[in-house]
């Protein structure tokens, strides 16, 4: 069979070479058509697309029809019936100042001023905190800065202020709003008001929308205030919210706040904050409202004992939502899935969030369809997802992950997220699993810089110039946190994941997120006039996201880099060790050692290096041999998950990465150890607390060792 072998081997090598060439072609040339994205954004932002609304179902149907037309093999609407939350249309939410007679002497706005051109749009949901408890608590107000754990520590431990039974007011920013609400509940507050301070939602020298892209004083940030910890639909944790699924009672639901919550803009906030009593705040708590500051408790207006009253009538209700799922069957390995997913639902128009991202998905489908019409079909199966109800707690994507957990765990190679593609005008931002670092760099080297005056420069060069890593000579890439739809895929199921977007200068622009985030001012115009007039930044982001999925779907050997994972693990182990070393006496007293973790990281490093050395010798003409190493690469991320989950967070199963317990948006490495160490100097039972640290080190060491095992030769 010698001569046949040679022919086959040659043909297989040719296929490999062709595939690599083809990926270059796709990234370099094909996405020219991404310039049509502005049409998509314009079209998708005409109406509000709140999850559960008729408009959002209509948009789902439109997307299904267009994806079919583009040429996908199949497209389906996948419904789930989940707990959503809406304001009561006849009984609006607001906050009042009430005097000692009970008169409401000031009420916050019931809606944001609607931007020009959208005056006739109906069904704009007013600013609200989704899943807020109903209620009309009335009491003195305490200002809690950002409502972070450390802010409440300062209040309780340094300023001696007890929030129990009070209403608290926190400014938006720094952390996920759900964590602020959780902290307020833990402090015993009976309600929480959230406001956007100009210090956090206005950039220097920029005008409020529509003259610039800053948040106007009448704008406010919508958003859910859940603490789901990855559970998905609050009534069906762990299982998809199908028609037949058992639903828990509201009392047993996961993550619902027990207190009223409401968001306001800074024009309204001034009224609540400007005459408070209590001590002076620390300087860095003052924000940018031009008022005299006190923290509370107490709301004193001259001699009057004014108080604050929250009037919250928001309803939770089980509502049908729709994901749109499109498939391209893989030609060679149809049972290997590469997923590009982003949400469709928006708080209002969603110009940035999510439409700038949804347009990337839509254009990727169009590009894939065009390629297919030329005879192309990816080696692996491509899945495109338009998620619903992301704004309500990543619900659509999480339910689909729950629904298909078994096949995804068996078959999913990677998940690339496509939420907002642009949140700033400075450079690229990438958060991804370490094994994708190299591919991200390779792809950005094939994409042109979208910036004026950088003709001939690659995106990599442009990005590198603006945001160099502190650790090596390459652009900065972050850990994945949460706050978007990759969560269930990465943190729960252990599927290699990444996200890319255009961002602000994180070293000089200190406002939170982007100023108009989740307000009515997220329009098509804000993108077209300010963020990306040429749409070349969006095109660059699209090329990165598209390049990732096409490379992952088409490369004969999966372009995942285990050595990068080893480097990251080394960094994280050092970092958590340094954190523990802040307690040298306790480390000594309780015999706490990180040796097992460092040893495991070393084992992983050796296994990763050896794996890639063997990969260099791989006979790529041997289909089964290629499949075997690809399985090892695919399952590496899975190996970092533990079915037992993190303490108290059963759906966060990744032992290396989890959303911070103090800020869902941020990623924490070795989260089990981190949480065990948190505030340990104040532990009631230090022996028990340090035992938990030791247990978590042991779990982390075992997990890293077991991941190393998956990379070793498959037979002992």
Instruction: Give the helix ranges, DSSP H, for 414-504.
Output: 437-444, 459-466, 487
With binding defined as CB under 8 A, does residue 710 bind its own copies? Answer: yes
Stretch near its own copies under the rule CB under 8 A, chosen from 304-312, 313-321, 370-378, 641-649: 641-649
User: Which residues inside 70-89 make contact with its own copies, applying CB under 8 A?
Assistant: 73-74, 76
Listed residue (487, 483, 466, 484) closest to 475, CA to CA: 466
- Candidates 171, 404, 446, 545; binder of its own copies (CB under 8 A) is 404
- As measured in angstroms, the least distance from the Cβ of 334 to its own copies is 5
Nearer to its own copies, 8 or 587 (CB): 8
Token pair for residue 242?
């199908």
User: Which residues inside 358-387 make contact with its own copies, applying CB under 8 A?
Assistant: 381
- Candidates 251, 595, 616, 685; binder of its own copies (CB under 8 A) is 595
Residue with tokens 């006739």: 120
Residue 539, H or E segment: helix 536-554
- As measured in angstroms, the least distance from the Cβ of 364 to its own copies is 18
- As measured in angstroms, the least distance from the Cβ of 19 to its own copies is 16
Using CA atoms, how far apart are residues 81 and 244, in angstroms rounded to an integer?
10
Instruction: Give the helix ranges, DSSP H, for 233-354.
Output: 266-273
Which amino acids are annotated catalytic? 390, 593, 631, 654
- Candidates 92, 113, 238, 298; binder of its own copies (CB under 8 A) is 238
With binding defined as CB under 8 A, does residue 614 bind its own copies? Answer: no
Using CA atoms, how far apart are residues 530 and 270, in angstroms rounded to an integer?
28
- Candidates 334, 438, 536, 615; binder of its own copies (CB under 8 A) is 334
- Candidates 643, 648, 684, 685; binder of its own copies (CB under 8 A) is 643
Cis peptide before 297 (omega within 30 of 0): yes
Cβ count within 10 A of residue 625: 12
With binding defined as CB under 8 A, does residue 353 bind its own copies? Answer: no
Total residues binding its own copies (CB under 8 A): 64
- As measured in angstroms, the least distance from the Cβ of 704 to its own copies is 11
List of residues 6+ apart from 299 with CB closer than 8 A: 97, 140, 141, 275, 276, 277, 305, 306, 307, 308
List of residues 6+ apart from 120 with CB closer than 8 A: none
Listed residue (239, 224, 216, 237) closest to 194, CA to CA: 224
With binding defined as CB under 8 A, does residue 672 bind its own copies? Answer: no
Q: What CA dihedral angle connects 250, 253, 255 and 257, to 10 degrees?
A: 20
- Candidates 258, 374, 406, 472; binder of its own copies (CB under 8 A) is 406
- As measured in angstroms, the least distance from the Cβ of 182 to its own copies is 23
Residue with tokens 């115009």: 525
Nearer to its own copies, 161 or 707 (CB): 707
- As measured in angstroms, the least distance from the Cβ of 594 to its own copies is 11
With binding defined as CB under 8 A, does residue 58 bind its own copies? Answer: no
With binding defined as CB under 8 A, does residue 8 bind its own copies? Answer: yes
Using CA atoms, how far apart are residues 343 and 418, in angstroms rounded to an integer?
7
Stretch near its own copies under the rule CB under 8 A, chosen from 237-245, 296-304, 413-421, 425-433: 237-245
With binding defined as CB under 8 A, does residue 596 bind its own copies? Answer: yes
- Per-residue buried b or exposed e for 687-706, using 16+ beta carbons within 10 Å of the residue's own CB: eebbebbbebbebbbebbbb
- Candidates 2, 204, 244, 507; binder of its own copies (CB under 8 A) is 244
459 burial level (CB within 10 Å; 0-12, 13-18, 19+): buried
- Candidates 332, 457, 563, 579; binder of its own copies (CB under 8 A) is 332
Stretch near its own copies under the rule CB under 8 A, chosen from 30-38, 358-366, 483-491, 636-644: 636-644
DSSP 299: B
Specify which residues 387 forms β-bridges with.
343
Using CB under 8 A as the criterion, which residues of the chain lie in contact with its own copies when the complex forms? 1, 4, 7-8, 11, 73-74, 76, 238-240, 242, 244-246, 248, 325, 327, 329-330, 332-335, 381, 403-407, 410-411, 595-596, 599, 623-624, 627-628, 631-632, 635, 638-639, 642-644, 650, 653, 691, 694-695, 697-699, 701-702, 706-707, 709-710, 714-716
């Amino acid at each position: 069979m010698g001569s046949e072998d040679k022919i086959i081997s040659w043909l297989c090598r040719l296929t490999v070479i062709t595939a690599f060439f083809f990926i270059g072609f796709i990234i370099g040339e094909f996405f020219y058509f991404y310039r049509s994205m502005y049409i998509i954004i314009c079209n998708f932002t005409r109406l509000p697309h709140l999850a559960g609304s008729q408009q959002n179902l209509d948009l789902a149907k439109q997307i299904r029809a267009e994806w079919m037309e583009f040429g996908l093999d199949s497209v389906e609407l996948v419904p789930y019936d989940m707990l959503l939350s809406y304001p009561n249309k006849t009984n609006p939410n607001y906050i009042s100042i009430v005097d000692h007679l009970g008169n409401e002497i000031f009420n916050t706005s019931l809606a944001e001023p609607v931007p020009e051109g959208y005056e006739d749009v109906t069904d704009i949901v007013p600013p609200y905190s989704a899943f807020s408890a109903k209620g009309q608590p009335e009491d003195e107000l305490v200002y809690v800065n950002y409502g972070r754990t450390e802010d409440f520590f300062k209040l309780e431990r340094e300023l001696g202020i007890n929030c129990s039974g009070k209403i608290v007011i926190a400014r938006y920013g720094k952390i996920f709003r759900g964590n602020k609400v959780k902290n307020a509940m833990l402090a015993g507050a009976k309600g929480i008001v959230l406001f956007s301070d100009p210090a956090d939602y206005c950039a220097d020298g920029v005008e409020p929308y529509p003259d610039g892209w800053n948040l106007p004083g009448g704008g406010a940030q919508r958003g859910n205030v859940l603490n789901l910890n990855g559970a998905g639909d609050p009534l069906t944790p762990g299982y998809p919210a199908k028609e037949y699924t058992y639903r828990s009672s509201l009392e047993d639901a996961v993550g619902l706040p027990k207190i009223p919550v409401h968001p306001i803009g800074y024009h309204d906030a001034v009224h609540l904050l400007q005459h408070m009593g209590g001590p002076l705040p620390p300087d860095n708590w003052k924000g940018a409202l031009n008022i005299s500051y006190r923290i509370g408790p107490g709301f004193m207006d001259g001699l009057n004992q004014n108080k604050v009253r929250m009037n919250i009538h928001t309803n939770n209700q089980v509502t049908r939502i729709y994901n749109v799922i499109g498939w391209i069957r893989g030609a060679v390995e149809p049972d290997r899935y590469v997923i590009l997913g982003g949400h469709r639902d928006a708080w209002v128009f969603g110009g940035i969030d999510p439409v700038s991202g949804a347009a990337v998905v839509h254009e990727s489908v169009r590009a894939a369809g065009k390629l297919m019409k030329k005879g192309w079909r990816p080696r692996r199966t491509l899945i495109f997802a338009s998620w619903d109800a992301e704004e309500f707690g990543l619900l659509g994507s999480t339910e689909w992950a729950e629904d298909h957990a078994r096949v995804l765990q068996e078959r999913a190679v990677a998940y690339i997220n496509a939420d907002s593609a642009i949140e700033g005008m400075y450079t690229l931002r990438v958060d991804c699993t370490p094994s994708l670092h190299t591919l991200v760099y390779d792809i950005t080297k094939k994409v042109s810089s979208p910036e004026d005056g950088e003709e001939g420069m690659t995106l990599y060069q442009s990005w590198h110039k603006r945001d160099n890593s502190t650790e090596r000579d390459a652009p900065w890439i972050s850990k994945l946190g949460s706050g978007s739809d990759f969560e269930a895929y990465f943190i729960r199921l252990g599927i290699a994941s990444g996200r890319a977007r255009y961002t602000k200068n994180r070293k000089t622009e200190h406002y939170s997120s982007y100023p108009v985030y989740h307000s009515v001012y997220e329009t098509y115009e804000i993108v077209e006039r300010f963020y990306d007039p040429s749409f070349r930044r969006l095109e660059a982001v699209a090329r990165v996201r598209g390049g990732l999925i096409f490379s992952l779907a088409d490369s004969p050997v999966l372009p995942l880099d285990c050595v990068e994972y080893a480097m990251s693990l080394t960094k994280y182990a050092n970092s958590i060790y340094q954190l523990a070393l802040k307690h040298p006496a306790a480390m000594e007293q309780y015999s706490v050692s990180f040796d097992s973790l460092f040893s495991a990281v070393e084992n992983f490093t050796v296994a990763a290096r050896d794996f890639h050395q063997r990969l260099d010798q791989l006979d790529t003409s041997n289909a089964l041999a290629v499949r075997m190493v690809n399985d090892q690469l695919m399952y590496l991320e899975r190996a970092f998950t533990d079915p037992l989950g993190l303490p108290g967070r059963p759906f966060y199963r990744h032992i290396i990465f989890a959303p911070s317990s103090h800020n869902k948006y941020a990623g924490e490495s070795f989260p089990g150890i981190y949480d065990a160490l948190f505030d340990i100097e104040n532990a009631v039972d230090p022996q028990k607390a340090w035992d938990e640290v030791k247990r978590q080190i042991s779990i982390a060491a075992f997990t890293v060792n077991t991941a190393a095992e998956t990379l070793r030769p498959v037979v002992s």
